């Protein structure tokens, strides 16, 4: 398959005679896409959650991360079939709408994915501000100063996003290299300590002695937290319209990206507990900083603090890229107001969607701030979405397209449904607060759905199902 790239760089013209609207430009090759995926999966989760997972299982921190990797991999196979079959922006929402044709379900799925990205980005912005204050010593000792820095940082993210995905992904390359360096430092310190006899690798194979319900349920409980560190791979499908020949390169790149991050997580987990006992690792909010302090006393701790800061900055950038492209894609299908689907004629970026998602992030940074169960709630929402996507890939088997695409084995999609659905349930020991937060978010989504329908009625727009087999979807040749 060979995409006609000249066509993708010209304004789209619908055969029905719609007014011309600039299309997104395909600038992402396999290496940029790989770094995008690795940079999206790595980030805030692994830097903050290692100690929290240790509180669940003890020294075997790597096992929940490995389990989360397997669950993510099952769903990734379903995403691969769908993104190569329908290489369009908006990802899960379009797949769900194509499979079930229920506009309200489509909107709720869209809102769940979008809100998880924006909330994570807003939290990352506040984390960036807090790390900046601590590292530079700006003298802000109140929440207002951190809020202002977070807002300024989010505004900078919006500017980078507006300038274009090429600039955004290039910055992502730099930030991904920085956060990878931080994790490689942890791995190197850990294995150097193990080789020198100061690290105790046997801790990595021990469990807490006071586990309620046994080791299996402790691992499951740890997995509900560790899964937050694995999410991010699904964001890449929202970049399908800006990726060169997505039906060909997505499978190998996505699987390679997940494998790289899975190996890094396991090695970081083993290194961390080999140096810091799991009960100490679980105290506080900076577990990996403790590893550096204990394992390499001569290493400048401030440098690692800056690395952590840039890691969460990368998470914010990629999440806002995802959220704006998702809003853009759904607007083009008239599930959201058409205004949100406008593309800037010069920059070729969805500027109204970028403005909209940035304003939502501003609101979260200003009025919500840190949410105690944010990571778990984000994972809860995405696990529910993943379960639906795994069902959608089976439903859409009867929908054929003209070009070749990836096909996931049926049993893999079924296992994806079962595993994601299982991890959503309260039997996993999930904090009830996470369900409360998720319920509030979905209630807001339902209210926005009503508002959107009223706007559509007032402007004469009609919600329509996405035409995923039309001209915009087909691959030349």
Q: Report residue 436's pLDDT band, with 50, 70 and 90 as the boundaries.
A: confident
Average pLDDT over residues 331-335: 71
Q: Report residue 15's pLDDT band, with 50, 70 and 90 as the boundaries.
A: very low
Tell me how crowded residue 281 is: count the other CB atoms within 10 A of its CB.
27
Per-residue pLDDT for 87 more than 60?
Answer: yes
Per-residue pLDDT, 383: 93
> Which two structure tokens, joined as six digits, stand for 156?
């900078």
Per-residue pLDDT, 430: 85
Per-residue pLDDT, 233: 81
Q: How far apart are CA 128 and CA 143, in angstroms?
A: 13
Per-residue pLDDT, 372: 43
> Which two structure tokens, joined as six digits, stand for 333?
């299908």
Per-residue pLDDT, 143: 65
Tell me how crowded residue 477 is: count the other CB atoms within 10 A of its CB.
8
Question: In this predicted model, what pLDDT tens digit does every residue of 141-199 receive, in sequence order?
Answer: 556 777 888 899 999 989 888 877 666 666 767 877 888 888 999 999 999 998 888 88
Average pLDDT over residues 352-371: 79
Question: Cα separations (Å) of 297 from 191, 264, 270?
Answer: 15, 23, 19
Question: In this predicted model, what pLDDT tens digit does every residue of 60-82 receive, in sequence order?
Answer: 999 999 999 999 999 999 998 88
Structural domains present in the chain: 34-459 (1.20.1740.10)
Per-residue pLDDT for 54 more than 70?
Answer: yes
The predicted model scores a pTM of: 0.78
What's the chain's average pLDDT? 78
Per-residue pLDDT, 477: 31
Nearest to 292, CA basis, from 397, 186, 369, 208: 186
**Alpha helices in 86-102, H assignment, sequence order:** 92-100
Per-residue pLDDT for 417 more than 60?
Answer: yes
Contact, 154 vs 125, CB < 8 A? Answer: yes
Contact, 42 vs 263, CB < 8 A? Answer: no
Contact, 169 vs 35, CB < 8 A? Answer: yes
Q: How far apart are CA 182 and CA 304, in angstroms?
A: 7
- DSSP lists the bridge partners of residue 28 as 243
Q: How far apart are CA 79 and CA 359, in angstroms?
A: 29
Q: What is the DSSP string of 394-431?
A: HHGGG---SS------HHHHHHHHHHHHHHHSGGG---
- Supply the DSSP symbol for 137: T
Per-residue pLDDT, 11: 38
Angle between the N-to-C axes of helices 62-85 and 410-424, in degrees from 0 to 180, rounded to the nearest 10 = 130
> Which two structure tokens, joined as six digits, stand for 343?
């593309």
- Supply the DSSP symbol for 20: P
Per-residue pLDDT for 18 more than 60?
Answer: no
3-state secondary structure of 320: helix
Looking at mean pLDDT, say which of 39-53, 75-89, 114-128, 363-377 comes out highest: 75-89
């Amino acid at each position: 398959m060979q995409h006609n790239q000249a066509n993708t760089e010209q304004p789209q013209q619908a055969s029905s005679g719609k007014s011309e609207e600039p299309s997104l430009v395909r600038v992402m090759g396999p290496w940029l896409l790989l770094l995008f995926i690795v940079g999206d999966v790595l980030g805030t989760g692994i830097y903050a959650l290692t100690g929290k997972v240790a509180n669940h299982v003890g020294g075997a921190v790597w096992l929940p991360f490995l389990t989360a990797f397997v669950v993510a991999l099952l769903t990734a196979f379903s995403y691969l079939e769908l993104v190569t079959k329908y290489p369009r922006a908006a990802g899960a929402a379009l797949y769900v709408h194509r499979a079930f044709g229920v506009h309200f379900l489509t909107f709720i799925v869209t809102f769940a994915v979008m809100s998880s990205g924006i909330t994570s980005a807003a939290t990352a912005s506040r984390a960036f501000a807090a790390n900046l204050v601590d590292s530079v010593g700006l003298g802000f000792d109140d929440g207002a100063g951190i809020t202002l820095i977070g807002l300024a940082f989010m505004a900078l993210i919006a500017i980078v996003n507006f300038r274009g995905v090429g600039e955004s992904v290039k910055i992502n390359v730099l930030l991904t290299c920085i956060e990878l360096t931080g994790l490689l430092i942890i791995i190197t310190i850990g294995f150097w300590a193990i080789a020198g006899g100061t690290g105790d690798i046997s801790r990595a194979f021990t469990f807490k002695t006071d586990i309620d319900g046994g080791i299996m349920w402790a691992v499951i409980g740890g997995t509900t937290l560790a899964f937050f560190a694995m999410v991010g791979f699904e964001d890449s499908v929202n970049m399908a319209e800006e990726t060169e020949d997505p039906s060909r390169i997505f499978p190998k790149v996505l699987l390679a990206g997940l494998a790289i991050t899975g190996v890094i997580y396991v090695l970081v987990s083993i290194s961390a507990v080999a140096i810091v006992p799991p009960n100490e690792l679980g105290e506080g909010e900076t577990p990996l900083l403790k590893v550096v302090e204990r394992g390499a006393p001569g290493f400048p701790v401030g440098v690692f603090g800056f690395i952590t800061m840039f890691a969460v900055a990368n998470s914010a950038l990629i999440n806002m890229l995802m959220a704006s492209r998702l809003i853009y894609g759904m607007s083009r299908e008239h599930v959201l107001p058409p205004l949100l689907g406008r593309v800037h004629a010069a920059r070729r970026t969805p500027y109204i969607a970028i403005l909209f998602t940035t304003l939502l992030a501003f609101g979260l940074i200003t009025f919500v701030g840190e949410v105690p169960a944010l990571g778990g709630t984000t994972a809860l929402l995405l696990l529910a979405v993943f379960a639906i996507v795994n069902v959608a890939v089976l439903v859409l088997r009867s929908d054929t397209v003209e070009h070749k695409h990836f096909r996931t084995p049926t049993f893999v999609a079924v296992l994806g449904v079962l595993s994601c659905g299982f991890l959503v349930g309260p039997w996993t020991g999930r904090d009830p607060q996470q369900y409360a937060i998720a319920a509030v978010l979905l209630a807001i989504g339902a209210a926005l759905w009503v508002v959107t329908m009223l706007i559509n009625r007032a402007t004469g727009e009609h919600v329509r199902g996405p035409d995923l087999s039309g001209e915009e979807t087909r691959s030349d040749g």
